[in-house]
Amino acid sequence: MTGTAHRSRYEEFSDYVSSRGPALLRMARSLANNSSDAEDLLQAALIKTFFAWDRIASPNARDGYVRRAMVNTQISEWRRQRMTVYPTADIPDQRIDDPTWKTDLTDTVHRAIARLPERQRTMVVLRYYEDMTEAQIADRLGVTLGTVKSTLSRAVNKLRQDADLTIDRATT
């Protein structure tokens, strides 16, 4: 192939991605857990599509090829994960350092914590995000250990009752 043929292929593919990207991203979002996973899924499908670009006979078949590549890629990802998640109403006592925890749930939890009164929010952050003991929190804030325990208890109860964090137990 000449340099012009390669350039034309790249330009044609680039034009396709520019024009169809938003619609394809919406499809990826329906398959993935969150926006960043959807972007990764679309990127992987577009890479596969680019390598097959010359074999896709009809311009009308391109969307179908990308969609099929996204579905196949997502199915492969699900098979790789093979992870079972058990929802719980209990808030963990230790902070979680798993990088895959960065999901929409994380945003929901942050918003729920932001709705707590300042003192409760401060203690929740120190206890569950900074992993401080109740005694360390009492020392840092200049309050009694009993105050820390009762404040954390009230905060956790408020979080458990937060409508955005509750699980509809009738459907689970």
Give the residue from 134, 127, 160 showing the smallest Cα distance to 149.
Answer: 134
- pLDDT, residue 129, reads 76
Give the residue from 92, 17, 1, 104 showing the smallest Cα distance to 54.
Answer: 1
Over residues 106-116, the mean pLDDT reads 81
- pLDDT, residue 81, reads 67
Over residues 146-164, the mean pLDDT reads 88
Contact criterion met (CB below 8 Å) for 28 and 42? yes
- Read off the pLDDT of residues 129-139 as tens digits, 9 standing for 90 and up: 778 899 999 99
- Read off the pLDDT of residues 36-88 as tens digits, 9 standing for 90 and up: 888 998 999 999 989 888 888 788 888 889 888 888 888 877 777 665 556 66
**Distance, CA of 77 to CA of 43 (rounded, Å):** 14
**Which CATH code is given to the segment(s) 3-81?**
1.10.1740
151 Rama sector, left if φ>0, alpha if ψ -120 to 50, beta otherwise = alpha
**Distance, CA of 121 to CA of 127 (rounded, Å):** 10
Domain boundaries, the chain: 3-81, 99-161
Q: Where are the alpha helices (DSSP H) in the chain?
A: 3-31, 35-52, 62-81, 104-114, 118-124, 134-141, 145-161
Q: pLDDT tier at 8 (50, 70, 90 boundaries)?
A: confident
99-161: in CATH 1.10.3720.10: no
Report which of residues 95 and 75 the model is more confident about. 75
* Sole residue written with tokens 């009492």: 138
pTM over 0.95: no
